[in-house]
Structure formats: structure tokens, C-alpha cells
Amino acid sequence: MNEDISISLRIKRIVTELYDGNQSEFARKIGISESSVRSYLVGTTPKADVLEKIVNNIAISYEWLLTGEGSMLRNKQISPQSTYQIMDTEQHT
């Protein structure tokens, strides 16, 4: 349950920092109901498909969303595709 509360707090941080607390805008952006957002904010555990919607539609780091580790925003990290491109370039030089 502790981990669920942490996910709830991270979702609250996303709504607060990226959507100025506007739950309906956040819900619209990720394609879920506003009542679902409210339930997640009070501690209901989102299912994997909802977490995936958050990550895919807002560019949030999946690792950060699940664990709180690393950067909240995905664009501050090297994507797996970039890592493979770097490795491929290094192998050919």
C-alpha cells in the first residue's frame, strides 16, 4: 500500500506541476475519466494501462512514475533508441 501512496503522490505532482492542478485537463490528455483521476489522487492504485497512458501521453519517465527514481520527465533521459544508436555508432568506428 505504501508504494501505491507514492504513485498517488507522483500523479498528484504531475497534475499540480504540469496541469496547474487541473484534473479534468490531465484526464483528457491521458484519456481517462476525471473521477478516475480523483480516485488515483486519494490512493487507488492505477492499473498498468493507465500508467502506460500517462507515460505515453505526457512523456513522463516510467521509472520515476513507479519508483520516484530519476527524472520526472522522459526527455531529460537518454531513450533506449538513442542508446542503441550510440552503441551502433561506436561499433562501426
The pLDDT tens digits of the residues spanning 28-79 come to 999 999 999 999 999 999 999 999 999 999 999 999 999 999 999 987 544 4
Question: How many other C-beta atoms are found inside a 10 Å radius of the C-beta of residue 54?
Answer: 22
Backbone angles phi, psi at 73, to 5 degrees: -90, 135
CB distance 77 to 61 below 8 Å: yes
Per the structure, the complete domain to which residue 57 belongs is given by: 2-91
pTM: 0.74
Domain count, the chain: 1
Domain containing residue 46: CATH number: 1.10.260.40
pLDDT band at 84 (very low <50, low <70, confident <90, very high): very low
For 15-41, the DSSP string reads HHHHHTT-HHHHHHHHT--HHHHHHHH
